[in-house]
Amino acid sequence: MIVDVHAHIFKDLNEILNHKDSTKRSMYFQKAIGNTPATAVRKIKDNQITKDFKLWDDKNPGVGGKLEVNLRVGKYGRFVWTEKFGDVYVNIYPPSLQEMKAPPEFMLAQMDMAGVDSAIIQNAWLYGQMNDYISDAVKKYPYRLVGTIQVREIDADKDDQIDELHRGVEELGLSGLYFSTLRFFENDFKDHIDDKKFFPFWEEVRSLKIPIFFDIASQFELGQSHFSPFERYLFQMKHFSNWLKTFESIPCILVHGVQLGPFCNKDTFVDIPDEIWQIWKSENVFLEILFPIQISYPRTGATVWDYPYMETRPMIKKLYEKLGAEKLLWGSDMPNTERNCTYKQSLEYLSRYCTFIPSDVMEKIIGGNAVNLFKIKSKFL
């Protein structure tokens, strides 16, 4: 059974950004794009790549750093905004996403084509409050889609967010929690996941016996603009390590696994220090194997690698040898990944070409571990 642990469905982005809280939702996309542009930014007038763009103040990572650039949804996978010299765009999604939406049926058709049995839908904060939308999809396609819950991270200590957590599991039939540390930018990074005020929330997560997708990015916080990507990542992982001291019994999947920003220097991976390996080796900590989505164009922490991404194999081999197959889960980040390769290729660079992993062990990474972690059932069993 093949399970993709990192997929997305979402409504028309024009509808999302025209919502009553469109200013906030537009800010979310602007923060995400400004933090890590997905592909090269190009001028609309001549399609030339430009590095002369700015979506967020380099020295103010909080809400006050947002710049006025008139960010808007284009077509064919693009977001468009205005710089001093004219309009520019970036492809967050592939051009094949003509109408900027990914309904459940679109994802299922992609899964059928690639031979993927089930997909876990990560409930990313970019797309607005999606708990009910994802729940409807899961109930309609119970053997194919597994849903996760979103809460407002900065308000996770509030009763209404704890209530939403319970509603997600007990009424909506969702099977995990998605939690992004980047969203703490909304209160200027005053909080972190290991703050004691959030302990009651984490206790409720533990009581519900659900896994957490922790999206721990290497973003910089106030006063850290001079930090390297690795220093930023290490800062966030120290908070995660401290969190583990109290909540080590909660299964956690680190979204994107080994991130290229902190751990890649042009075409090679840098040595990962032992303190990071020790965190990753912690009981109930799992890593996504998800490289193609991160490969775009030359910038800090990214490069241009062609399928089947042979450059990733030394790191995958090291993860396998140091952590064991039981702690690794394959993910694609569909539909985003198709800006770099096909959905099937996002699986087969691992399943077909990493021949140092025996086939019976590979089955755990591309499905078996997720089946056990999320108790996924097949209609064929």
Q: Give the pLDDT score at 365.
A: 98
Q: What is the pLDDT of residue 20?
A: 58
Residue 185, C-beta contacts closer than 8 angstroms, at least 6 positions apart:
31, 61, 62, 63, 219
Contact 289, 251 (CB under 8 A): no
What's residue 296's pLDDT? Answer: 62
pLDDT score at 224: 84
What b-and-e string marks burial along 198-210, b requiring 16 or more CB atoms within 10 Å of the CB?
beebbebbeebeb
Tens of pLDDT, residue by residue over 325-360, are: 999 999 999 999 999 999 999 999 999 999 999 999
Q: What is the structure's pLDDT at 23?
A: 73
Per-residue tokens: 186: 């909304």
- What's the pLDDT score for residue 265? 78
Burial of 87-102, coded b for 16+ CB within 10 Å and e otherwise, reads: ebbbbbbbeebeebbb
Q: Which residue has the higher pLDDT, 38 or 75?
A: 75
Calpha distance 239→274 (Å, rounded): 16
pLDDT computed for residue 377 by the predictor: 83
pLDDT class for 239, splitting at 50, 70, 90? very high
Mean pLDDT (whole number) for 210-224: 89
Q: How far apart are CA 144 and CA 119, in angstroms?
A: 6
pLDDT band for position 126 (cuts 50, 70, 90): confident
* Contact between 188 and 223 (Cβ < 8 Å): no
Residue with tokens 């939406």, as numbered in its chain? 101
For residue 357, the model assigns a pLDDT of 98
pLDDT of res. 194: 98
The number of residues making up the chain comes to 381
- First CA to last CA across the chain, in angstroms? 11
Read off the pLDDT of residues 247-281 as tens digits, 9 standing for 90 and up.
999 999 999 999 988 888 777 888 999 999 999 99
Q: How confident is the model over 280-303, as pLDDT tens digits?
A: 999 999 999 999 998 865 444 345
Q: Which of 41, 72, 39, 73 is nearest to 54 (CA)?
A: 41
For residue 308, with 0-12 CB atoms within 10 Å meaning exposed, 13-18 middle and 19 or more buried, which class applies?
Answer: middle
Quote the percentage of the chain above a pLDDT of 90: 79
Beta strand extents in the chain (DSSP E only): 3-7, 42-43, 72-73, 78-83, 86-91, 118-121, 145-150, 176-180, 212-215, 252-254, 264-265, 268-269, 285-289, 328-330
The domain limits of the chain are 3-9+101-374, 13-91
Helix (H) or strand (E) holding 105: helix 104-114
Using CA atoms, how far apart are residues 232 and 224, in angstroms rounded to an integer?
Answer: 8
* Token pair in block for residue 367: 């499905």
Decide: 75 and 96 in contact? Cβ < 8 Å.
no
Residue 222 pLDDT grade (very low, low, confident, very high; cuts 50, 70, 90) = confident
Give residue 302's pLDDT. Answer: 45
Mean pLDDT, residues 114-135 taken together: 95
DSSP-derived letter for residue 365 is I
Which residues, in sequence order, are CB contacts of 373 under 8 Å at separation 6+? 211, 251, 253, 286, 329
pLDDT, residue 71, reads 92
- Mean pLDDT rounded to a whole number for the chain: 92
Backbone angles phi, psi at 86, to 5 degrees: 135, -175
At the fourth CATH level, the homologous superfamily of domain 3-9+101-374 is: Metal-dependent hydrolases (3.20.20.140)
pLDDT band at 162 (very low <50, low <70, confident <90, very high): very high
Highest mean pLDDT among 23-32, 57-66, 171-180, 219-228: 171-180
**Alpha-carbon gap, residue 113 to 100, rounded angstroms:** 20
Taking Cα atoms as reference points, which of 236, 125, 252, 257 lies closest to residue 183?
A: 125
CA 184 to the chain's CA centroid: 15
- pLDDT score at 19: 62
pTM over 0.85: yes
Chain segment 54-90, per-residue pLDDT in tens: 999 988 999 999 999 999 999 999 999 999 999 999 9
